[in-house]
Amino acid sequence: MTNFTLNALDWLCLILQERFGHKFILSYQNQALKLSLAGQTQNYILFSKLIASFFQSRSDIPCCLWDAKREGWTNVLGLRISALGVSGLQNPLIRDHSGNIEIHYDILGLTYWMLNRIEEIGRIDLDRHGRFPAINCHAYKNNYLERPIVDQWLYILS
């Protein structure tokens, strides 16, 4: 498993604070990432399936679709959500353990990979202007180029 640096964890907390208006704490708990509100010791979210490929510059990671509605969750677009880095998802994806939530998908790793454009780092398959072409990207190859994947997953997280 690849770990986030402390700076990366702080950056993700800032992203979440700007999105949700609360201060968060991210920490490792065994092989999982724990998200909690600052100053609160109970009621947290545990991301139990961290995905190592979210730290790699590649476009060939697997991708599947998650049907949020089928599991009782609301998706802002009403469509199945692309789940990058996995070829299948555990059912149910999200479990409530007496007020502590366990999510069997790496939403924060996905956010890190997408917003930092990790896929593009060190690539040599550039166009004549030195840009990474959309036709080479994971989003194009997996039919979610025009979809707000990070926003969809953060909506589920809310």
Helix (H, G, I), strand (E, B) or coil at 97: strand
- The answer to whether 54 touches 109, Cβ cutoff 8 Å, is yes
Inside any domain, residue 54: yes
Inside any domain, residue 90: yes
The answer to whether the predicted template modeling score (pTM) of the entire model surpasses 0.75 is yes
Inside any domain, residue 132: yes
Inside any domain, residue 149: yes
When divided into structural domains, the chain yields a total of 1
Inside any domain, residue 1: no
109-121 per-position pLDDT tens digit: 999 999 999 998 9
Inside any domain, residue 16: yes
31-41 per-position pLDDT tens digit: 899 999 999 88
Structural domain span for residue 107: 6-157
Inside any domain, residue 11: yes
Closest Cα partner for 108 from 30, 41, 39, 27?
27
